[in-house]
Amino acid sequence: MSFNLKKILKKLLILIFFYSNYTLSDTNNFLNLYSARQSVLMETLINAFQKKTDIKVNIIAAKASQLINRIEAEGKYTKADVLLTTDVGRLIYAKNKKLFKAVDSTYLKKVIPNKFKDKDNQWFGLSLRSRIFIYNKNKVKKEELFGYIDLADKRWKKRVMVRSSNNVYNQSLVSAMLLNYGEKRVNSFLKNFVNNFSRKPSGGDRDQIRAVVSGEGDIALVNSYYYFKMKFNDKENFLKDINLHFPRDNSMKTHVNISGAGIIKFSKNYGNAVKFLEYMVSNEAQKIYADINYEYPISNNLNISTELKKYKIPEQDGLRLEKIGIVNKKATILMDRAGWK
């Protein structure tokens, strides 16, 4: 079978799989949202948006990679208006595949800080999360916690836990480290960091937190909202011995990433799609992000969340996130060479 025929068959299979789950709206005032976010969060946001605008939202939920592959396969025939996902790495990937179009919105430009949106206005950050340390306070003193690169120190031998290097959260963090520390320091860091793993990387961020609780390791790298969701719903005081630290040093402050979205270049409902993005960064929507998923507001307005106000990020990395895409490939190569599986 020729290579081109294989590509065509792959695209057909993708289309058949997704269209079998697709239903059209029975109204002319709608938009089609391809979402890689959790249904509990999106259901609340969509219901609020529909109530406010009377625009019907049809949602297709799947993993980000599946949605991006689908849009690419559908081409100009796609029904997608908006792609919504987590991590800047995925948004950059979608942009590089030329899936987005530039959006002209004074409101989005005003509300979203430049470092959290694409310079060509093709994708926009909608909420924030930080990559933090969580640790067992009976085994780790707060005074011995510094920046990310310090986790390569020999005192952390067999004490550190983290998920796989295949995870985009870790790839984006190492990309940010490359831009802040330089390749030489990061290459050295990765080799020593891997030697400090207390176990083979496995599971998600919640699994790293549970493993610290159970004593499999003393410290772990996780996204902030995973810790907050477990902590604020901890009825049995499961996390009583666990604390968090915002990593920072003279070269790099706390890595902050985004969930975000872009409008598909073949969107048939551009006006409604713009209204949707604008709503998502409104105070009403930002409060939903904070209350349900404990994600920081994109504008850093912590007054909308009593809980998150207690955990203000002391110093954010000033890096413009779109720069991460420039070094992502190098970051993954270095992670692989170091043996971070």
Top CATH class of 3-128+257-303 equals: alpha beta
* pLDDT value for 2: 54
Per the model's pLDDT, the better-predicted residue between 26 and 177 turns out to be 177
* pLDDT value for 20: 44
pLDDT > 60? residue 130:
yes
Domain ranges for the chain, please list them.
3-128+257-303, 129-255+323-337
pLDDT tens-digit map of 178-192: 999 999 999 999 999
* pLDDT value for 89: 94
Provide DSSP, 190-235. HHHHHHTBSS---S-HHHHHHHHHHTS-SEEEEEHHHHHHHHHT-T
CATH superfamily of 129-255+323-337: Periplasmic binding protein-like II (3.40.190.10)
Equal fold, 3-128+257-303 vs 129-255+323-337? yes
pLDDT tens-digit map of 213-246: 999 999 999 999 999 999 998 887 899 999 999 9
- How large is the average pLDDT for residues 289-300? 93
> What is the torsional sign of CA 33, 37, 40, 46?
negative
Strand pairing class (30-35; 56-61): parallel
The span from the CA of 336 to the CA of 68, in Å, is 24
pLDDT tens-digit map of 147-172: 999 999 999 999 999 999 999 999 99
Count of CB atoms within 10 A of residue 30's CB? Answer: 18
The span from the CA of 226 to the CA of 230, in Å, is 6
Q: Is 249 helix (H, G, I), strand (E, B) or coil?
A: coil
The span from the CA of 67 to the CA of 84, in Å, is 9
Asked if 99 and 84 count as a contact pair (C-beta separation under 8 A), the reply is: no
Q: Any bridge partners for residue 86, and if so which?
A: 259
Lowest mean pLDDT among 10-24, 85-99, 210-224, 308-322: 10-24
Task: Identify which of 245, 204, 214, 210 has the alpha carbon closest to the alpha carbon of residue 230.
Answer: 210
pLDDT > 70? residue 131:
yes
What value, to the nearest 5°, has the Cα angle with vertex 331 and ends 329 and 336? 100
Chain centroid to Cα 238, Å, comes to 26
What residue type is 317 in one-letter code? D
Asked if 243 and 135 count as a contact pair (C-beta separation under 8 A), the reply is: yes
CA dist 5 to 12, 71, 83, Å?
A: 11, 19, 28
pLDDT tens-digit map of 29-83: 999 999 999 888 999 999 999 999 999 999 999 999 999 999 999 999 999 999 9
Task: Identify which of 144, 142, 140, 104 has the alpha carbon closest to the alpha carbon of residue 124.
Answer: 104
pLDDT > 80? residue 19:
no
- How large is the average pLDDT for residues 247-265? 98
The span from the CA of 246 to the CA of 240, in Å, is 18
- The residue written with tokens 């997704």 in the block is 18
Per the model's pLDDT, the better-predicted residue between 325 and 188 turns out to be 188
